[in-house]
Structure 1
């Protein structure tokens, strides 16, 4: 199927109709950012016919990191009564009017502050250590209406098949000896064990497990998405990985966080893969949508996965939001999230995500901007492009 037919079929001009950059991408048709279908307002708006949500007592474990602040702002706007539980160290000045319980989840007795009080909903934001889930469950026992655990699609052990749903094969649960490990290889197994602990502590009748893919947007210090808006904004020839039709998936931090709060409002239970966009999306569409919010003269040179491997260019880290659409990673960016979509997960336009990410990035300290944690180094990018052109006889 040609690129033009792919773009037409997906009709991603349904969005905010930001058009441009097709020549730079080397695509045969102009296009804009693909779209949300039903973007939710920040707070309820009576004029739209949306009912005032029933006020809930919500406890957020964390609340001041990446996805936490978005949850807090959304929940406050929707008139819920919040309590935060954390060490009081990360972004300690945020939300001074929200009650806070202090505890260090890494130490014995660190969850003791949770032994008093009752909550309709508890949101446990990304944790690596299953002991945190176990200890929180024991401290909260019998005083929680719903426990929402933020897991990850990294629980899956096999990404070779597209369209994997929540019943896909999982890693062997992490043994207790590795629960506190920061080794990347332990991440998926530990998340599997954490899901088991959540089910053991709270039971299926009170449990929601959310498995996001790559979470992107303002506040993401991993730079795994922001590399692209920043690099495209600089312009010039850009190394683009694989083929224009390689699939990508990601979820804006606002969309994910707001949906998690709504899962509490609606008492939505079960396990959900939670990434997007809603329609199948290619990396060409993503890069085009990002370029559309800049005035960049960027031109993309598509370099096959095999050549990138020869040049030791790493997918995901040096080429963020991308994995080769073949072999063991064929389905990595094609996870089935229909269950979450049916449960109300919606998406804002890519244009919004790209612009808010770029604007936020430019507010970061210069030292952070110069030491991005993801994306190919400029010198290496130039060298790989030169090698590719030489191979093509350009």
Structure 2
């Protein structure tokens, strides 16, 4: 099927709005000895129990910072390797009373996809935090067709009646049309509320341990099962992913440095192709496997939905596999090896309950894949 904004939201950019998804994982503590920061900070994290939040918190604690977490308290908090203050409230209803009368050096806003959340946070926190960091998304760009999208590219335009009246329910009901524009307006609201002391981070596909969407997990999981694996395209289409730990830890370093500005948080720091991705997964999983490439035309004709892959040309979103990350790398963004991400992801996934592992949240069932492979080979004669 043709790649649409809905496909990309379903399989990728919703990672940046992981507050809309349940989280079943325990936090992964930093594995290596991490040096202390030169100056301890008081860090407020809005969210904190979703995908990247726990990585931020663990890293911040390891660096010697004091962490306060604000959320609804609906998810079980992981066991932290240090003291974390918990404040309760609900941004859906405007309940931010627990933040009143407090001050922090840094605020990291993880779950926001609605402009009024930023506005309300500004009402309480303006003048009370020195630096505001906001996780946005590459879906904010108006034109995703060309590779090399830089941070100054035009942004998606909201076409609704009142952006401040949009709610989580209205966003979910029309996420294809609202997600990018509302994120873009949330960025603008951040600058309105917090002035120049703002950092905007725009990730694409966030992957690794704690990823409950399965959009990248599908590939190492499927490859580990062995046999004939259907792969879309000719293997040369570019792929961009970022380990949630790399994203979360980099944001803490941005806070420490007081770095402001807007950054595309896409990785890696080299051109990763579809073939490099699947063979990289296989290098970790081992076992007998055979990759069968099918054409984009076959994918479209048979409405094959496969996560991560975006054709390098021919769709309005082809450029989403080759977004410019030069500015982020210059600002200190680093990437752990693909093999490390794959190995840690599989270890985490295999620690989940059996019923969770049996659930396919992205990609093809084995039955559907076998049916498509049969049709492909019949077509090829």
TM-score, normalization by structure 1: 0.84
What is the CA–CA distance in structure 1 between the aligned matches of 2:329 and 2:92, rounded to whole Å? 35
Q: Which residue of 1 aligns with 2:187?
A: 195
- CA-to-aligned-CA distance 1:83-141 (integer Å, 9 cap, x gap): 11111121235438311111011113x11211121111100003222211111111112
2:39 to 54, 57, 63: 54
Q: Which residue of 2 aligns with 1:123?
A: 108
CA gap of 1:353–1:121, structure 2 versus 1, over 3 A, is same
SS of 2:272's equivalent in the other structure is coil
Measured after TM superposition, the shift of residue 177 of structure 1 is 4.1
Change (3 A) 1:177 1:143: closer
1:13: which partner in 2? none
Matches of 1:189 and 1:369 in 2, distance apart? 34
1:309-336 CA distance string (max 9 Å, x none): 101113xxxx111111112232110100
Q: Is 2:136–2:200's contact at 8 Å kept on the other side of the alignment?
A: yes
| C-alpha separation in 1, matches of 2:250 and 2:296 | 35
> Which residue is 1:376 aligned to?
364
The match for 1:339 is 327
The counterpart of 1:244, out of the listed 235, 248, 273, is: 235
Match of 2:308 in 1: 321
Residue 218 (structure 1) aligns with:
209
Alignment map for 1:96-245 (pairs within 5 Å)? 97-108=83-94, 110-173=95-158, 175-180=163-168, 181-182=171-172, 183-185=174-176, 186-204=178-196, 206-245=197-236
Asked if structure 2 preserves the Cα contact closer than 8 Å seen for 1:229 and 1:290, the reply is: yes
Give the conservation status (yes or no) of the 8 Å contact 1:43–1:78: no
The whole-number CA distance in structure 2 between the counterparts of 1:149 and 1:265 is 15
CA distance in 2, matches of 1:147, 1:245: 38
Note the aligned Cα RMSD (angstroms): 1.6
Q: Which residue of 2 aligns with 1:354?
A: 342
Structure 2 unaligned blocks of 5 or more = 1-29
Contact between 2:46 and 2:111, CA under 8 Å: does it hold in 1?
no
Give aligned pairs, total: 343
Most deviating of 74-83 and 173-182: 173-182
Verify the 8 A CA contact 1:42 1:74 in the aligned structure 2.
Answer: no
Counterpart secondary structure, 1:71: helix
- C-alpha displacement of 1:231: 0.3
Question: Residue by residue, what CA displacement relative to the aligned partner does 1:221-278 show, whole Å, maximum 9, x if unpaired?
Answer: 0111100111000000000011111100010001000000000000000000111001
Partner of 1:295: 286
How far apart are the structure 1 equivalents of 2:107 and 2:117?
A: 14
For normalisation by structure 2, the TM-score amounts to 0.87
| Stretch deviating more after TM superposition (83-92 or 209-218) | 83-92
Bigger radius of gyration among the two: 1
Contact kept? 1:64, 1:94, Cα under 8 Å: no
Once the two structures are superposed, what CA deviation does each residue of 1:4-59 show, in whole Å capped at 9, x if it has no partner?
Answer: xxxxxxxxxxxxxxxxxxxxxxxxxxxxxxxxxxxx985534xxxxx743101111
**Which blocks of at least 5 consecutive residues in structure 1 are unaligned?**
1-39, 46-50
SS in 1 for 2:93: coil
Check if 1:74 corresponds to 2:62.
no
Per the alignment, residue 34 of structure 1 pairs with none
| Partner Cα separation in structure 2 for residue 260 and residue 93 of structure 1 | 20
Q: Secondary structure at 1:99's aligned position in 2?
A: strand
Following superposition, which runs of at least 4 residues in structure 1 exceed 4 angstroms of deviation?
Answer: 40-43
- Checking the alignment, whether the CA contact within 8 Å between 1:215 and 1:253 is kept in structure 2 is yes
Match of 2:272 in 1: 281
